[in-house]
């Protein structure tokens, strides 16, 4: 927590963490922050250890984690965040505080799931 009543959240994704484990971990931290400090502005910082690959420097799972998953699932509930792939960014919308009770991750059925598709 900062001196300006901002809750700082930090998580390191370990090399052995799966996408699902990392997603549940960051979501749990988000839920805990809202429960302990309801409505306070949140800043979320994430580091990713390992998971190197050809997708922006990350394997496909952790490229998706920092893009599709983060922006659709976590970003609406924080004021600012910093990811290795994006650097620091601010949420252009007001932070939402109605964090869901749990995170359900279903099977990805998109035709290119788990693949990195280059620009043509």
Q: Are strands 52-55 and 42-48 parallel, antiparallel or unpaired?
A: unpaired
The residue whose two tokens read 């927590």 is 1
In total, how many domains does the chain have?
Answer: 1
CB 80 within 8 A of CB 88: yes
- What is d(CA 24, CA 109) in angstroms, rounded to the nearest whole number? 20
* pLDDT score of 105: 78
* Residue range of the domain that includes 14: 7-90
- Give residue 1's pLDDT band: very low, low, confident or very high (50, 70, 90): very low
- 46 within a domain of the structure (yes/no): yes
Residue 70 counted as domain residue: yes
Lowest mean pLDDT among 14-18, 21-25, 83-87, 109-113: 109-113
Q: 31 with 44: CB under 8 angstroms?
A: no
Residue 105 domain flag: no
């Amino acid at each position: 927590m900062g001196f300006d009543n901002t809750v700082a959240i930090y998580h390191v994704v370990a090399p052995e963490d799966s996408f699902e484990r990392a997603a549940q971990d960051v979501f749990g931290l988000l839920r805990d922050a809202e429960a302990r400090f309801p409505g306070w502005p949140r800043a979320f910082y994430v580091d990713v250890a390992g998971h190197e690959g050809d997708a922006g420097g990350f394997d496909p799972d952790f490229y998706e984690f920092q893009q599709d998953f983060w922006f659709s699932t976590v970003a609406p509930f924080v004021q600012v965040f910093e990811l290795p792939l994006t650097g620091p960014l601010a949420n252009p919308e007001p932070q939402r505080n109605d964090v869901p009770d749990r995170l359900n991750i279903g099977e990805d059925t998109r035709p290119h799931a788990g693949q990195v598709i280059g620009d043509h």
